Structure 1
Amino acid sequence: MKKKIILAGGTGFTGEYFKRRFEELGYEVLIISRGEPHITWGNKVKIQQALEGSELLINLAGKSVNCRYHEKNKKEILNSRTETTNLLGELVASCQKPPKLWVNSSTATIYRHAEDRPMTEVDGEIGEGFSVNVATAWEEAFFSHQLEATRQVALRIAIVLGDSGGVMVPYSNLAKFGLGGQQGNGKQMFSWIHIEDLFQMILYVMDNEHLTGIFNSAAPNPITNREFTAAVRKAYNRKIGLPAAKWMLEIGTFVLRTETELLLKSRWVIPERFEKEGFAFKYATIDEALEQIAR
Structure 2
Amino acid sequence: MKRKIVIAGGTGFIGTYFAKKYHDMGYDVKIISRKQEHITWDQHQEIIGALEDSEVLINLAGKSVNCRYNTKNKEEILTSRLETTQTLGDALLQCKNPPSIWFNSSTATIYRHAEDRPMTEENGEIGDGFSVDVAKEWERSFFSYQLPNTRQVALRIAIVLGEEGGVMTPYKNLVKFGLGGVQGSGNQKFSWIHIEDLFNITQFINDNKELNGVFNCSSPYPITNRELMNQLRTSLNRKLGLPSPKWMLEMGAVFIGTETELILKSRWVIPEKLEKAGYSFTYQKIDDALQQIVRNRLLHRD
Task: Mark yes or no: TM-score above 0.5.
Answer: yes
Give 3-state SS (helix, strand or coil) of 1:171's partner: helix
RMSD: 0.6
Q: What is the distance in 1 between the residues matched to 2:180 and 2:11? A: 29
Q: What is the distance in 2 between the residues matched to 1:261 and 1:22? A: 33
Give 3-state SS (helix, strand or coil) of 1:40's partner: coil
Structure 2 counterpart of 1:59: 59
Q: What is the distance in 2 between the residues matched to 1:260 and 1:220? A: 25
Deviation at 1:78, TM superposition (A): 0.3
Structure 1 counterpart of 2:282: 282
Q: What is the distance in 1 between the residues matched to 2:22 and 2:219? A: 22
Give 3-state SS (helix, strand or coil) of 2:166's partner: coil
Structure 1 counterpart of 2:300: none
Q: What is the distance in 1 between the residues matched to 2:170 and 2:71? A: 26
Instruction: Name the amino acid aligned to 1:163.
Output: E
Instruction: Name the amino acid aligned to 2:110.
Output: I
Q: What is the distance in 1 between the residues matched to 2:282 and 2:25? A: 18
Deviation at 1:178, TM superposition (A): 1.5
Scaled by the length of structure 2, what TM-score is found? 0.97
Structure 1 counterpart of 2:134: 134
Give 3-state SS (helix, strand or coil) of 2:6's partner: strand
Instruction: Name the amino acid aligned to 2:198.
Output: L
Q: What is the distance in 1 between the residues matched to 2:173 and 2:78? A: 30
Please give the per-residue CA displacement for 1:154-182, whole angstroms capped at 9, x wherever unaligned. Answer: 01000000011110011112112211111
Structure 1 counterpart of 2:24: 24
Q: What is the distance in 1 between the residues matched to 2:35 and 2:166? A: 21
Q: What is the distance in 1 between the residues matched to 2:30 and 2:36? A: 12
Residue 78 of structure 2 is aligned to residue 82 of structure 1: no
Residue 148 of structure 2 is aligned to residue 158 of structure 1: no
Please give the per-residue CA displacement for 1:239-270, whole angstroms capped at 9, x wherever unaligned. Answer: 10111000000010000111000000000000
Please give the per-residue CA displacement for 1:255-295, whole angstroms capped at 9, x wherever unaligned. Answer: 01110000000000000000001101000000110010110
Instruction: Name the amino acid aligned to 1:25.
Output: M
Deviation at 1:184, TM superposition (A): 0.4
Q: What is the distance in 2 between the residues matched to 1:16 and 1:249? A: 31
Structure 1 counterpart of 2:251: 251
Give 3-state SS (helix, strand or coil) of 1:193's partner: strand
Alignment of 1:178-217 (within 5 A): 178-217=178-217
Instruction: Name the amino acid aligned to 1:193.
Output: I
Q: What is the distance in 2 between the residues matched to 1:90 and 1:83? A: 10
Q: What is the distance in 1 between the residues matched to 2:4 and 2:10? A: 14
* Count of aligned pairs between the two proteins: 295
Deviation at 1:24, TM superposition (A): 1.1
Scaled by the length of structure 1, what TM-score is found? 0.99
- Structure 2 unaligned segments of length 5 or more: list them: 296-302
Q: What is the distance in 2 between the residues matched to 1:93 and 1:205? A: 22
Structure 1 counterpart of 2:175: 175
Deviation at 1:196, TM superposition (A): 0.2
Q: What is the distance in 1 between the residues matched to 2:190 and 2:9? A: 25
Q: What is the distance in 1 between the residues matched to 2:170 and 2:76? A: 24
Q: What is the distance in 1 between the residues matched to 2:182 and 2:62? A: 29
Q: What is the distance in 2 between the residues matched to 1:283 and 1:167? A: 17
Instruction: Name the amino acid aligned to 2:243.
Output: P
Residue 118 of structure 2 is aligned to residue 118 of structure 1: yes
Q: What is the distance in 2 between the residues matched to 1:201 and 1:33? A: 23
Q: What is the distance in 1 between the residues matched to 2:100 and 2:220? A: 28
Q: What is the distance in 2 between the residues matched to 1:42 and 1:110? A: 29
Q: What is the distance in 2 between the residues matched to 1:256 and 1:54? A: 41
Instruction: Name the amino acid aligned to 1:234.
Output: T
Structure 1 counterpart of 2:44: 44
Instruction: Name the amino acid aligned to 1:250.
Output: E
Deviation at 1:235, TM superposition (A): 0.5
Deviation at 1:97, TM superposition (A): 0.5
Give 3-state SS (helix, strand or coil) of 1:31's partner: strand
Structure 2 counterpart of 1:12: 12
